[in-house]
DNA sequence: AAAAAATAAATTGTCGACAATAAGTTATTT
DNA sequence: AAATAACTTATTGTCGACAATTTATTTTTT
């Protein structure tokens, strides 16, 4: 993943607050800190061996990507996953990633499109080997979406999707998983999207991406209901 | 404007960092600190009579709403206005506010729609009195957009538009203005949008809002080019 | 005994000082 | 004289301590 100057969350971690952010993102996304639990600043500061200053800066950025919720003078809690939250999040995602596809069809150059195709082939191969391994698919799928978003060449869109929304999306997907039959279908949908972009058919790419995301949402929503939330 | 718990930027300023944020937002949006100029932390801390801790927290939030750009260990600069920036920003705005209209048509209750109508009448009257006064129109227009966004009832959408994008939008509009003929036309467009929402025609409301924003962009873009940027 | 008030404990917000990094200046070398 | 290197200055990042606010506990009152 290349660094982008517009995206402070994706630069190599130069400062200690950067490292903290990465670690806490992982911790929350993977559910090591329980959803909804309170975050104690002194406790975490001890745990990570840093002062509260960089910790608070990291927390401000965690709030920015919707992983925690803060109330002034009261404290911060890890966000809770819910059906309504998922719906609201994916409404935005559909819209913005659809736009990203339309712009990518206009703005990606041939080389970038070719690289995207290469990425997909690579995932297909590794998927044949590791059948049903959900984590690799997870990473691969996100990488696919990332590249298209970057291909839109719109800094604000990139910032919103990659820096602010994607960690929460990952949290839903990591904690509620993506199961068997959906995985292989997702590959086909990805392929169709690439084709539309390569044909410079932004309208179609937009439509296909929206459906792709809607299908993904349906899959996660099902799991949420099974768990009785 | 009511406080919304999801929007830390719009609560009443309880902490000193909140007050700083509001003041600096105003200062930057209205151009009191020149576009592109460097921000010195010690200098500003003296100016506002606070320590650097709340100042840095305020700056983190200024970065979040795209009013400043920070580079680690190097400092922060006030954002520069440009034609490309405007285009990228309004691309997102069209998409998200279009979505907001569609959702508002579904989710606003009759009372909220009636209040929105009242707001528009009120602006029409005050506009007859203060012909061509651009600042009031500015505030009124934003208020109109705000209410529709809130009417979408989508917390993420509200957060993105009201907390992260709108200050930069205001900066473009305040510094590059909105002139005579466009003002009265905007009123008609607002009226048409309300009607579509009242008729629960989300698709039409979406379309009208997109056009409304596109027209607004054209107007500002013209000014930018006249100033030779 | 339950509710309210007062007190105690803990947590968050803010401060001033120090350390690490970057920018600016002077001295040195080719 | 131009370019490089060493040094100085200034700015940012981090730390530990204090103040203000909230939460939990205890005491008092009805």
Question: B132-155: per-residue pLDDT in tens?
Answer: 555 556 666 778 899 999 999 999
Nucleotide nearest to B53 (CA to C1'): C14
Higher-pLDDT residue of B185, B34: B34
Position B7 scores a pLDDT of 55
Would you say the C-beta of A74 is within 7 Å of strand C? yes
Would you say the C-beta of A12 is within 7 Å of strand C? no
Q: Shortest Cα distance from B123 to chain A (angstroms)?
A: 31
Nucleotide nearest to A39 (CA to C1'): C11
Residues belonging to chain A: 229
User: Which bases of strand D sit closer than 7 A to a protein CB?
Assistant: 11-17, 21-23
Taking residue B87's Cβ as centre, other Cβ atoms within 10 Å add up to: 12
- The residue among B221, B148, B222, B212 whose CA lies nearest residue B185 is B212
- The residue among A175, A186, A177 whose CA lies nearest residue A209 is A186
Question: B159-207: per-residue pLDDT in tens?
Answer: 999 999 999 999 998 888 766 667 778 888 999 999 999 999 999 999 9
Give this complex's ipTM: 0.90
β-pairing verdict for B68-71 and B75-78:
antiparallel
Q: Across the interface, do B11 and A96 touch by the CB < 8 Å criterion?
A: no
Tokens representing B192? 């048409």
Question: A123-174: per-residue pLDDT in tens?
Answer: 777 765 555 555 556 666 678 899 999 999 999 999 999 999 999 999 998 8
Rounded Cα gap, residues B56 and B40, in angstroms: 11
Average pLDDT over residues B201-223: 94
Contact A25, A67 (CB under 8 A): yes
Position A18 scores a pLDDT of 92
Would you say the C-beta of A1 is within 7 Å of strand D? no
Higher-pLDDT residue of B137, B40: B40
Higher-pLDDT residue of B93, B72: B93
| CA to C1' distance (Å), from A133 to C1 | 60
Higher-pLDDT residue of B178, B108: B108
Return all residues near B226 (Cβ < 8 A) that are at least 6 apart: none
Q: Shortest Cα distance from B179 to chain A (angstroms)?
A: 27
Residue at minimum CA to C1' distance from nucleotide C23: B74
- The residue among B172, B185, B186 whose CA lies nearest residue B81 is B172
Percent of chain B with pLDDT over 70: 86
Q: Shortest Cα distance from B126 to chain A (angstroms)?
A: 35
Residue of chain B nearest A153, judged by CA positions: B88
Q: What is the mean pLDDT of chain B?
A: 87
Contact A44, A3 (CB under 8 A): no
- The residue among A125, A113, A17 whose CA lies nearest residue A64 is A17
- The residue among A120, A118, A105 whose CA lies nearest residue A205 is A105
Rounded Cα gap, residues B81 and B73, in angstroms: 24
Would you say the C-beta of B40 is within 7 Å of strand D? yes
Question: pLDDT confidence of B6, banded at 50, 70, 90?
Answer: very low
| Low-confidence spans in chain A with pLDDT less than 70 | 1-11, 127-141, 178-181, 228-229
Q: Across the interface, do B155 and A64 touch by the CB < 8 Å criterion?
A: no
Q: How many interface pairs between A and B have CB atoms less than 8 angstroms apart? A: 76
- The residue among A62, A37, A67 whose CA lies nearest residue A170 is A67
Which of B13, B64, B74 would best serve as a mutation to test chain A binding (most A beta carbons within 10 A)? Answer: B64
Taking residue B81's Cβ as centre, other Cβ atoms within 10 Å add up to: 20
Helix (H) or strand (E) holding A77: strand A75-78
Tokens representing A149? 């978003």
- The residue among A141, A104, A90, A98 whose CA lies nearest residue A119 is A141
Would you say the C-beta of A37 is within 7 Å of strand D? no
Position A24 scores a pLDDT of 95
């Amino acid at each position: 993943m290349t660094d982008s100057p517009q995206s402070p969350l994706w630069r190599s971690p130069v400062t200690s607050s950067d490292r903290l952010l990465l670690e806490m993102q992982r911790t929350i996304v993977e559910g090591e800190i329980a959803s909804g639990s309170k975050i104690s600043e002194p406790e975490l500061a001890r745990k990570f061996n840093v002062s509260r200053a960089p910790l608070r800066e990291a927390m401000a950025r965690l709030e920015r990507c919707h992983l925690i919720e803060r109330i002034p003078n009261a404290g911060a809690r890890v966000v809770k996953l819910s059906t309504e939250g998922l719906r609201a999040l994916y409404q935005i995602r559909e819209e913005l990633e659809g736009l990203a596809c339309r712009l990518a069809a206009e703005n990606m150059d041939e080389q970038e499109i070719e690289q995207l195709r290469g990425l997909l082939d690579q995932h297909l191969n590794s998927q044949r080997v590791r059948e049903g391994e959900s984590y690799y698919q997870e990473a691969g799928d996100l990488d696919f979406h990332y590249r298209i978003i970057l291909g839109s060449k719109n800094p604000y869109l990139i910032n919103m999707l990659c820096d602010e929304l994607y960690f929460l999306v990952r949290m839903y997907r990591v904690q509620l998983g993506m199961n068997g039959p959906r995985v292989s279908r997702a590959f086909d949908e990805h392929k169709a999207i690439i084709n539309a972009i390569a044909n410079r058919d932004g309208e179609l790419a937009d439509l296909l991406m929206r459906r792709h995301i809607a299908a993904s949402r349906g899959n996660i929503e099902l799991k949420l209901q099974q768990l009785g939330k």
